[in-house]
Amino acid sequence: MKKILILIIGILFTDLSYSQIDFKDEPKSFKEKNKKWYNFGRRNKEINTEFKLKNDYDFELRLWTDPAPVLGPSVFVMQQKDNKWTAQYYAQAIRKEGDKYIPYWKKKDLDSEKLNELWAKLVENQVLTLPTQDSIRDRMRIYSTDTLAVFYPPNQLAGWPYYAPAILDGMIYRVELRTKKKKRTYTYHCPKGYLENCPNVEELYRAYAIIVLIRKYAGLNLSAIC
């Protein structure tokens, strides 16, 4: 009887784990804003083909990091299948062949022992529901106390009545969520830098926290986050 009870509890716990990994599906009308400059679809195909990644997972998370042109892109891949997690990190590097410089991908397998803990922390920081940065631009504003801003028409060059911080370089961070039936993506540009200017925007903090958690788990340099 005791064994049966343990089995039932285990089944219920497993069902609960699966039901928790759910998110709002991307609308069919969704268009990738930065597809012209960041072809993540092509990069995903490169990774999938070269390392023979299968799409038989129950859930997958990918975090792409696309830095300035000097460095290559990288991606953290975390998959769940049959309630078990695995994770890898892939980074693009350059090798010299004669007079040519050839880009290639390097793979780093990550310990799966604490992926459950990592996932719990990611969920706490809204990894499944975080909106894309473009949808919160209207809250990334710093208003002025200059009285001229009250009496004169808005002038963004002068910072009236507010200015919107702008970071011209830095890194693009893209989160991709997938199940067998759903997919969702959202992108942030330098959430740490913008958070320093707009400390009351929670979404910037959550995006930054997600990046910190993943990079720390992968053993990567946290000071490189922008």
Does 57 have pLDDT greater than 60?
A: yes
Residue 117 belongs to domain spanning? 36-224
User: Is residue 48 assigned to a domain?
Assistant: yes
Q: How many domains does the chain have?
A: 1
User: Is residue 72 assigned to a domain?
Assistant: yes
User: Is residue 8 assigned to a domain?
Assistant: no
User: Is residue 3 assigned to a domain?
Assistant: no
Does 211 have pLDDT greater than 70?
A: yes
pLDDT band at 29 (very low <50, low <70, confident <90, very high): low
Q: Which of 186, 206, 185, 56 is nearest to 124 (CA)?
A: 206
Considering only residues 158 and 196, tell me which one the structure prediction assigns the higher pLDDT: 196
User: What's the whole-model pTM score?
Assistant: 0.85
For 163-182, give the DSSP string.
E-----SS-EEEEEEE-SS-
User: Which residue is associated with the tokens 């990288």?
Assistant: 74
User: Is residue 20 assigned to a domain?
Assistant: no
- As a whole number, the mean pLDDT across the chain is 86
pLDDT band at 35 (very low <50, low <70, confident <90, very high): low
Mean pLDDT of 179-208: 96
Does 37 have pLDDT greater than 80?
A: no
Mean pLDDT of 183-187: 96
User: Is residue 28 assigned to a domain?
Assistant: no
User: Is residue 133 assigned to a domain?
Assistant: yes
Question: How far apart, in whole angstroms, are the C-alpha atoms of residue 190 and residue 204?
Answer: 9
Please give the pLDDT value at position 12: 43
Please give the pLDDT value at position 31: 61
2-25 per-position pLDDT tens digit: 555 444 444 444 444 444 699 998
Considering only residues 6 and 83, tell me which one the structure prediction assigns the higher pLDDT: 83
User: Is residue 10 assigned to a domain?
Assistant: no
Contact predicate 129/24, CB 8 Å: yes
Q: 118: helix, coil or strand? A: helix
Buried b (16+ CB within 10 A) or exposed e, 81-97: eeeebebbbbbbeeeee
Mean pLDDT of 105-109: 96
Please give the pLDDT value at position 68: 61
